[in-house]
Amino acid sequence: MSAKGLSDMKFIIDFQPQRHWDWKVAFYLYGAGTSAGLIFFEVVLRNLDMIAETTALSGMWIGLGLALLSLAFLFDHLGPASRWRFLYVFRRPRTSWISRGAIIVTVLVLLRLLILFPSIPGLEGLPMGEGTALGGALRATVLVFAVAFMAYSGLVLSSWNSIAFWNTPMLPMLYVGYSFLAGIAALPIIAALSGGTQEVGPIGPVLQPYLLGLLLVNALGLLLYIWGMASGTLPSRESVRRLLRGEQRWNFWLGIVAIGLIFPLLAMSSVSAPILVTACLAIQIGSYLLRDAVLRVGVYGPPV
Amino acid sequence: MTQWGFTVDLERCVGCQSCVIACKVENGTPPGIHWMKVLEREEGEFPYAKRTFTPVRCNHCENPPCARACPTGAIKKREDGVVVVDQDLCIGTMSCMTACPYYVPYRWDGDGGYFGAELTPYEAEKYARFKPGTAQKCHFCYHRLDQGRPPACVEACPADALNYGDRDDPDSRINVLLREKKHFRPKEELGTGPRLFYLTGKGGGTISGGGSR
């Protein structure tokens, strides 16, 4: 069937799960959020001289690629019929969070490109390299837009009261926390890709306290979010049931909790670079599955 | 200016689906898209079980969440309060579908009809009005309203369960019904200001809280 909406639902007065925002939207929220978290930590940690310039530069390119890949998934979700009309998405930032998000992610990608230009052979002379006034201003601006995008990835869901499970200020906070976590967890993976375990060795001890703190904060945030929703309205309680005991229980307990939180927490006590990189990959899996599961368990209450 | 409103008498609806078929015939909506729906619920247990019917359609809200969510401005309110989709502006983000607490809008991706890939002459003519990849929803049969005719669903209802009229005219049919019968608006507490009223019994006056929140 080529229509999306209630067409795949039963015509009865009951809870109706949303199905039209699928894994592609989840990947967009995860990919672009993680990319924003990554650039945030790259700029901050590089400014504090805690990570190597090669890692920071590789991270910038990989983060840019991740953001563009996420956007490609989003365009695919719009369907081939939209073509160039996607440019209309910028028309209503006054009322629409989708429009605001499109503006934020576009500015973020452009800022990142400007920061990366001096690293391209032949463009080294551009006045926005590390240590220049313009470079500093660009990096400060990118921090603001990175945080704005991380918040947006939750606000776009929480701003609507149609789906009670999303309609809470806890969701943007949780998504900001998870974007920070997945962003910083991407750094050891990037270091391993760019320089092998030798590159991971020095940054491991630097990042581990931050990773540990963010894992604990996000575990607490997830607990508070689900606890709050479990004592909420009937549709939000139904969503919690679907998440913990229903169709998404494996995603939640195995993917989000065991792989995404408990294993990385246990792995933080290890000083081994391969274990750290594996834990960071597990964090990425948990972070994606959180977005996916939150979308899938969103249910509408009866329309009357 | 006329401000259109709509009433559904839940005591009168017998679940015959005439409104659903009339809407399909009038607007020729593609497979899987139902601008008018009659939702069912079974209540009680044998031997006292009964089935109730609730016609559902776009409520043409005073404060439509779909229009606020739309990033392109494709969803607009006419001066008479009818909420319509401009298919030339819609890019198919489905944000209206997510934002609508009544899950009214659909997106049609444009492949095939009721009898497979090849369209019947009726389908070919009707579907030409629908742009693939855009949001679709009830437009209150505004083409009929503009000619002074009732929406197709209202005209087809054999039980007189559906009615429409001008909210600003105290003597309009729906304002008379609202004075005569108890009524509520769906999920009014969400602040959407639906222009659809469900009538539930004699006596007049508002019944608070029809939703699940």
Would the CB atoms of A6 and B198 count as touching at under 8 Å? Answer: no
CA count, 13 A, side-chain hemisphere, A114: 17
Lowest mean pLDDT among A3-7, A53-57, A72-76, B1-5: A3-7
Query: Which residues touch B171 (CB under 8 Å, ≥6 apart)?
Result: none
In this predicted model, what pLDDT tens digit does every residue of A98-139 receive, in sequence order?
999 999 999 999 999 999 998 888 888 888 888 889 989 999
Give the end-to-end CA distance of chain B in Å, rounded to a whole number: 34
In this predicted model, what pLDDT tens digit does every residue of A65-96 receive, in sequence order?
999 999 888 888 888 777 788 889 999 999 99
φ, ψ of residue B186 to 5 degrees: the values are -65, 130
CATH number, domain B4-168, options 3.40.50.1400, 3.40.605.10, 3.40.980.10, 3.30.70.20 = 3.30.70.20
Find out whether A262 and A223 touch, Cβ atoms under 8 Å: no
C-alpha dist (Å) from residue A246 to A239, A298, B2, B46: 9, 12, 48, 29
Question: Which one-letter DSSP state was computed for residue B119?
Answer: P
Question: Which one-letter DSSP state was computed for residue B203?
Answer: T
| Per-residue pLDDT at B212 | 38
Task: List chain B domain ranges.
Answer: 4-168
**A3 falls within a domain:** no
Find out whether B152 and B22 touch, Cβ atoms under 8 Å: yes
Residue of A nearest to B92 (CA): A78
Confidence of residue A6 (pLDDT cuts 50, 70, 90): low
C-alpha dist (Å) from residue B155 to B22, B84, B158: 8, 21, 8
Alpha helices in A52-130 (DSSP H): 53-78, 97-116
Confidence of residue A5 (pLDDT cuts 50, 70, 90): low
Would the CB atoms of A3 and B106 count as touching at under 8 Å? Answer: yes
Chain A within 8 Å of B115 (Cβ-Cβ)? Answer: no
Average pLDDT over residues A250-261: 97
Would the CB atoms of B213 and A234 count as touching at under 8 Å? Answer: yes
| Per-residue pLDDT at A74 | 86
Chain A within 8 Å of B134 (Cβ-Cβ)? Answer: yes
Chain A within 8 Å of B208 (Cβ-Cβ)? Answer: no
In this predicted model, what pLDDT tens digit does every residue of B48-59 receive, in sequence order?
999 999 999 999
Identify any residues that bridge with B40 across adjacent strands, giving them in sequence order.
A12, B53
Task: Name the burial class of residue A231, with classes exposed (0-12), middle (13-18) and buried (19+) by CB atoms within 10 angstroms of its CB.
Answer: exposed
C-alpha dist (Å) from residue A275 to A20, A192, A272, A280, B203: 37, 12, 5, 9, 72
Q: Which two tokens stand for residue A105?
A: 């992610």
3-class DSSP state of B41? strand
In this predicted model, what pLDDT tens digit does every residue of B133-143 receive, in sequence order?
999 999 999 99
Q: Which of B37, B50, B53, B72 is the mutation pick for testing A, counting most A CBs within 10 A?
A: B72
On chain A, the residues whose CB falls within 8 A of the CB of B108 are 2-3
Cα three-residue angle A189-A205-A176, rounded to 5 degrees = 60
Would the CB atoms of B91 and A234 count as touching at under 8 Å? Answer: no
On chain A, the residues whose CB falls within 8 A of the CB of B37 are 6, 11
3-class DSSP state of B181? strand
Distance between CA atoms of B188 and B190, rounded to whole angstroms?
Answer: 5
Residue of B nearest to A9 (CA): B32
| Per-residue pLDDT at B211 | 41
Q: Nearest CA to B98 among A105, A154, A93, A156?
A: A156
The radius of gyration of chain A's CA atoms, rounded to the nearest angstrom, is 20
| Per-residue pLDDT at B9 | 95
C-alpha dist (Å) from residue A141 to A46, A47, A84, A137, B43: 15, 14, 29, 6, 59
Higher pLDDT: A267 or A200? It is: A267
Distance between CA atoms of B17 and A137, rounded to whole angstroms?
Answer: 63
**A281 falls within a domain:** yes
Q: Which domain holds residue A160?
A: 19-300
| Residue A182: CATH number of its domain | 1.20.1630.10
| Per-residue pLDDT at A193 | 85
| Per-residue pLDDT at A283 | 97
3-class DSSP state of B83? strand
3-class DSSP state of A169? coil
**A14 falls within a domain:** no
Q: Does residue A8 carry a pLDDT above 70?
A: no
Count of domains forming chain A: 1
Q: What's the mean per-residue pLDDT of chain A?
A: 90
On chain B, the residues whose CB falls within 8 A of the CB of A162 are 65, 98-101, 103, 190
Would the CB atoms of B212 and A233 count as touching at under 8 Å? Answer: yes
Residue position matching structure tokens 């391209």 = A120
Find out whether A188 and A280 touch, Cβ atoms under 8 Å: yes
Distance between CA atoms of A115 and A131, rounded to whole angstroms?
Answer: 12
